[in-house]
Amino acid sequence: MPSKRASPESPSAVTLPNLRFEIPEAARILRISRAQLYNRIQEGVLRPQKDGNRTYFTSAELERYVNSCNGDVGGR
């Protein structure tokens, strides 16, 4: 009897975008080191989410941070 679950290639399959990222992923996305990322958290510039012992960043938070950096070109 065939399975009724949609295969990944099926048009009815739903693929969710990444909604949150762990520390190494967020650092890679932002192109900064993990140490710099932890510094931004300590400074209050980046706001992580905790889920048990895990620390995550939402895609919205990463976008907010990047947009806030636009006015900081050249360290002014």
pLDDT averaged over 10-residue windows placed end to end, the chain, 76 residues: 54 78 96 97 96 95 92 54
pLDDT of residue 15: 80
Burial of 29 (0-12, 13-18, 19+ CB in 10 A): middle
Residue whose pair of structure tokens reads 């650092």 in the numeric block:
27
Residue 12, CA distances (Å) to 5, 18, 21, 26 in order: 10, 19, 26, 30
Domain range holding 25? 20-66
Q: What is the pLDDT of residue 16?
A: 73
Query: Rounded distance, CA 56 to CA 2, Å?
Result: 38
Per the domain annotation, does 12 fall within a domain?
Answer: no
Give domain status of residue 10, yes or no: no
Whether 74 maps to a domain, the answer reads: no
Residue 36 is predicted with a pLDDT of 97
Q: Count structural domains, the chain.
A: 1
Token output for 10:
């099926």
What pLDDT, on the 0 to 100 scale, is given for residue 76? 45
